[in-house]
Structure formats: C-alpha cells, structure tokens
Amino acid sequence: MSRDDARAVLALEDGIVFIGKRFGRIGETSGEVVFNTALCGYQEVLTDPSYRGQIVTMTYPHIGNYGVNRDDVESSRPQVAGFVVREISTAASSWRAAGELNRYLDEAGIVGVSEIDTRMLTRHLRTHGAKRGVISTSGDDPSALVERARRAPSMIGADLAREVTCAAPHHYRDGVRTPDGSAPYRVVAYDFGMKENILRMLTLAGCDVTILPATTPAAEALALDPEGIFFSNGPGDPEACAYAVAAGRELIQSGRPLFGICLGHQILGLACGGTTFKLKYGHRGGNHPVKNLATGQVEITAQNHGFAVDPALFDRSEYVLTHLNLNDGTVEGFRHRDLPVFSVQYHPEASPGPHDSHYLFREFVARMAERRAPRDRAGSGRR
C-alpha cells in the first residue's frame, strides 16, 4: 500500500481540512462532526443509535486497545456516520476480545480517519461549534470535499429517530423477575434509537418491556395497558419528532408513570410546552457532573446530546427542575409537580460511563409500584 492509498481526509464545512490515515472502510462519508471525551467504551459509542448521522471524534488518542467483543454493544451494529481517532490500535488486548476494531469497522462499512491532530479538531469544534464534515479516502481535492461537507444535511430539523426505530412492536425478553418477587411491571418503550443497555436496566429493575416504533400513537400504546411508559434516547432534532411530541402530550395526561432519557427527555420537554435549542458543541462523554437538586448529590454522568431543553419551561408552575448540569448550568432533568412524569437529559444506563444514576430505573419502578399499591390494598391483588 503506497502512502497515498493509506490517506484519508477530513474536511469541514468551514474549510478546515485534516489529512490523516484511513481505517475501516475505503470510501466517503458525511455527517455532523462531534467529539466524545470518554477514555474507554468506544464500542458502545460506535453502536449507540443516538450517533446516527454523526462523525464521532474520540479525544482520547489510543482507540481500539481492547479490540471489540460480542457483548459491549448498544445495538446490532455500528451506527456512527464516521469515526475519527488519533491512533487506532493494531493490537486487541482483552480476554473478551473477539476481533480488532479496524476490521470490525471495515465490515460494518464505517469510514475512519486516524493520525490527525484530534485535539486541534476538538478545540475547533469547541470554539466554532459542531460542524458538518466529510471523511474521504478518495484522494479528491480537499476543496471539493469541503463543498460536499457544505451540502451534507444539517442536524437542525433532522428526524433521525424515524430512521433508527424498530419496524414493529415487539417484546424484549421473557422471564423477567422483579427484585421483590412481585409480578413484572408492564412497560412500553418508545424506541427513538434505544440503547440496548436501557432495556437491560429496565429488565433488571423488573420491567417486562414491549418496544414500540417511534411513531406509535398514544392510543395504541395505552391500549396495551402499560403500567409505565418509557421514552428512549435517539439521534437528531427533537423538534422534528412532532409525532412523538403529540403522543407524549397524551401519555403525560394518562397519569401513568412516564420516564424519558435524552431525546426522550427533549421530546417530553416539548410535549410539556417547553422549547429545545441546539447546544454549540453538545455534551458527549462520561465525566459530566450533574446535581440532583432533591438530594444535593452530584452524579458523574454519561452524556450524549446536541440539543437541550430550555429552562424557561420551569417558569410554568407544574414542571420542576430536578437535575442541573454543573459545568454549564443546562437542564439535565425535570419532573411534573403532581403526575409521575420525569425525565433526564443524560444517560443513567451509562454504557459507557459511570453507574451513579442507576437509581432512576428503580425510581421508575417505584412510581409504578405506588400505582399498584392501592389496588393491592383493595385486594385486587397481583396477577
């Protein structure tokens, strides 16, 4: 392989060009270029549907060290539009490794570029905001690539949830057991690009989950008589998901426990009458401090979002801010004053990231248990 064959170029819409080495699939890709500061967990990042349409830059320079394995996946395949690293490992060192990252990406058709100054790229994105970009191994003139980057679709107004959601309602896993031995909680989960670990966490907490396509009308969901409703994470602009916002509005009023994460949280924010806005360069990583305003505790959280809920929502009295980002003061969670509706912007399911916020899944179950309790007392009993 001659040197030029090994070359890959990352071109941004504002004319900045990085020349590096290619890895993964030969070809070209475009998307919104963002950065993630997590030190490990690249396989979970790659397979997280929330990264649909995005070229992800890992700020930690060595990526691929422990290879890839069968378990650490958040969906069936890599979802990113492209991948940017300082150095991709030529070794896969782990007792769980099933292969090397480079080959995994090639097989999944993901185009990547390495050996570029990823810190410079990160600083650029931090200063100038997330940018559309193109990674190409074609050898085309960089100015042509910049042009193509400018023509790439914008994240604003992009309804990507529709692309990554499931085709039809389906049941997640049988044989769910609750920690206290009571009957599993019937939960419907709106799949806007749901991470596998959310399902694992819900199941672990005792939820029997039915996964619904993103566009499922509220009435259809309620027809399943769920004890709780879950709004998942996902990619894109929440404002583009009007169908889900409409469903959210109805479901909130159903009085059933409703829990949202990430895009699900943003959609609920809109359903509550709030607005969302695009952050300059988003939050992506596993070290963001979030304060739980009820307990005063600080949780170190996993984050992956480019949009946020505007705090003006809390000027209205029925919604309460519950979680606050300590780095930039953005909204990280809220709840309804009276109804069992709550959501967080960050990722309590982690994967990758710290497990400080797993309690939220238990809270969701607790809300459902509270609703069961009066019936229990009335003797209508468990099934």
Partner 1 sequence: MPRDRSIESVLVIGSGPIVIGQACEFDYSGTQAVKALKAEGIRVSLVNSNPATIMTDPEYADRTYVEPLTPDVVEAILERERPHAVLPTVGGQTALNLAVALSSRGVLDRLGIRLIGASRRAVEVGEDRRLFKEAMARIGLDVPRSGFATTVDEARRVLDVTGLPAVIRPSYTLGGTGGGIAYNAEEFEEAAARGLDLSPVHEILIEESVIGWKEYELEVMRDAADNFVVICSIENFDPMGIHTGDSVTVAPAQTLTDREYQAMRNAARAIIREVGVETGGSNIQFAVDPETGRMVVIEMNPRVSRSSALASKATGFPIAKIAALLAIGYRLDEIPNDITRVTPASFEPVLDYVVVKIPRWAFEKFRDVSPRLGTQMKSVGEVMAIGRTFKEALQKGLRGLETGHGGFGRRDLDDARIREKLLTPDPDRILYVKRALELGWDHALIHRMTGIDGWFLDQIQQIAAMKERIEPSMDADTLREAKRMGFSDARIGELLGTGEGAVRARRHLAGIRPVYKRVDTCAAEFESHTPYLYSTYETECEADPTDRRKVLILGSGPNRIGQGIEFDYCCCHGSFAFKEEGFETIMVNCNPETVSTDYDTSDRLYFEPLTFEDVMNVIERERPEGVVIQFGGQTPLRLAVPLHRAGVRILGTSPDAIDLAEDRRRFSALLTELGIPQPESGTAVSLEEATRIATRIGYPVLVRPSYVLGGRAMAIVYDESHLEEYVREAVKASPEHPILIDRFLEDAYEVDVDAVADGERVVIGGILEHIEEAGIHSGDSSAVLPTFQIPERHLETLRDHTRRLGLAIGVRGLMNVQFAIKDDVVSVLEVNPRASRTVPFISKATGVPLAKVAARVMAGRTLAEQGLTADLAVDRFFIKASVFPFLKFPGSDILLGPEMKSTGEVMGISENFGLAFAKAQAGAGSTVPTSGVAFVSVHDHDKKAVLPLARALHEMEFTIVATRGTAAFLNERGVPAEMVYKVNEGRPNIVDRIKSHGIDVIINTPLGEASFYDDGAIRKNAILYGVLCTTTMTAAAATVEAIRALRARTQVDVVSLQEIHAARAAASRPPAGHLSIQVGGAP
Q: Supply the residues annotated as catalytic.
A: 262, 347, 349
Longest dimension (CA), the chain: 77
In order, the DSSP letters of 6-36 are GEEEEEETTS-EEEEEEEESSSEEEEEEEEE
Q: Give all strands of the β-sheet with 341-344 in edge-to-edge order.
A: 170-171, 207-213, 185-191, 228-231, 258-261, 341-344, 331-336, 319-325, 276-292, 298-309
Task: Using alpha carbons, list the distances in angstroms from residue 190 to 66, 216, 336.
Answer: 33, 8, 19
Q: Which is nearer to partner 1, 126 or 177 (CB)?
A: 126
Amino acid type, 157 = G
Q: Which residues bind to partner 1, rule: CB under 8 A?
A: 3, 18, 35, 37-41, 43-44, 59-62, 65-66, 69, 71-72, 86-87, 89-91, 93-96, 116-120, 122-123, 126, 285-289, 291, 296-298, 300, 326-328, 350-356
Q: What angle do CA 224, 366, 262 make, to 5 degrees?
A: 75
Residue given tokens 């990264």 in the structure block: 51
CA atoms within 13 A on the CB side of 359: 8
User: Are residues 235 and 262 in contact, defined by beta-carbon separation less than 8 angstroms?
Assistant: no
**From the CB of 298, what's the least distance to partner 1, in Å?**
4
Per DSSP, helices labelled H in 287-381 are: 359-377
Residue given tokens 């994967």 in the structure block: 351
383 contact partners, CB below 8 Å, separation of at least 6: 183
187, two tokens = 């939960």
250 contact partners, CB below 8 Å, separation of at least 6: 218, 219, 222
Sign of the dihedral through C-alpha 340, 343, 349, 354? negative
Cα separation of 38 and 285, whole Å? 5
28 contact partners, CB below 8 Å, separation of at least 6: 111, 134, 135, 136, 137, 138, 148
